[in-house]
Amino acid sequence: MLWLERKYLSRIVSLVEQGKWKNDNTLNHRCPYCGDSQKNQFKSRGFHFTIGQSFVYKCHNCGHSTSSVNFLKDHFPIIHKEYLKEWLTETGRKPKKAQKMLSANKFKFVPNKEELDMKKIDLSAVAFKVSDKVVAQEFVDSRQIPKERQEELWFVPVAQSLNLLSHKYRDRVLGNDPRVILPFEDENGELVGITGRAINDSPLRYLTMRFLDDVPLIYNIKNVDKTKTIYVTEGPIDSLFLPNSIAVGGSDFKKIDDSLKENAIIIYDNEPRNTEIIKKINEVIDLGYNVCIWNERKVSEFKDINDMIMGGLSQEEIVEIINSNTYNGLSAKTKLQEYKKI
């Protein structure tokens, strides 16, 4: 019971070091398991946050994780007993059976591999909708992301919580950065990966997780009309500003169904001095794709589509520029050589 756990966690706020509620579903304090930072007494890296209908605890210093109920049991046994009594009353369970349930695997913070493999990955178990968190809403508004596309986006206050989505990432250090999450779903709507965009000054701007190795990460593939022009961007955020668009990461271009090739226009970031991007453009030209080459002076000062939008260009203007600067085959090779000299 979320409300009951919140009630008893509120009782320990004054009992733990640096204890404070960040919001209704996030309690932060110094970690009593490891003692937290020994150099900085003001660092607090222990977090209680919600997964489904329960609170869980995670320390981003020592990595210790458990249910918040077990946290109470470890550090505040009297409060834990009081919680257990009220839980018994509310649920109507018998003491012995209840105690067995409270110690069962379902109350552990990290499910075992078999449990994870059987479950359909559910982003809502660890993330909020962007509209539910002011800081996330402010970020997407500042990037001028269209309102009708904001509904696709999620938010996590602490990126480390994403390791609950797949056993592949259980022991990975994903950091403490708050991130806006863009989900990659296959054509059936199953979550196959995510990209998380940091909304702070993290040097790791993007964090990408792939849950299924044999499925390409193609953003918005389930909604695209394959009979019309398909605008294919390098990053998911850029795709949010274009009609009938998808985003494909890195080498996953080679995994795209050939049925997309005829109508697809590949659009990389506008960085003529970036040798890696020039190499990628050459590769997709060799694969037979139509490719946008940003030879238009009007966009020369902008790095990507989002920059163009923030610089005052409309979606219609950008689409017109893309269509006017799309080439394939030998003409694409020629234009690419010109582009490198800009």
Question: Side by side, which strands form the sheet with 154-156?
Answer: 128-129, 154-156, 179-185, 191-198, 206-210
49, 75, 109 - which closes a domain: 109
Number of domains in the chain: 3
What CATH number does the domain containing 194 carry? 3.90.980.10
- pLDDT value for 106: 37
> Are residues 205 and 279 located together in one domain of the fold?
no
pLDDT digits (tens, 9 = 90+) for 193-218: 999 999 998 888 999 999 988 888 99
> Are residues 39 and 132 located together in one domain of the fold?
no
- At residue 108, does pLDDT exceed 50? no
Widest Cα–Cα separation across the chain: 78
- Write down the mean pLDDT value for the chain: 87
Q: How many residues does the chain have?
A: 342
Reduced 3-state DSSP string for 112-168: CHHHHHHCCCCHHHCCEEHHHCHHHHHHHHHCCCCHHHHCCCEEECCHHHHHHCCHH
- pTM of the full structure: 0.66
Query: What is the domain range of residue 62?
Result: 2-109
- pLDDT value for 243: 97
215, 236, 256 - which closes a domain: 215
Given a contact cutoff of 8 angstroms between Cβ atoms, the answer to whether 174 and 149 are in contact is no
Q: Binning pLDDT at 50, 70 and 90, where does residue 250 land? A: low
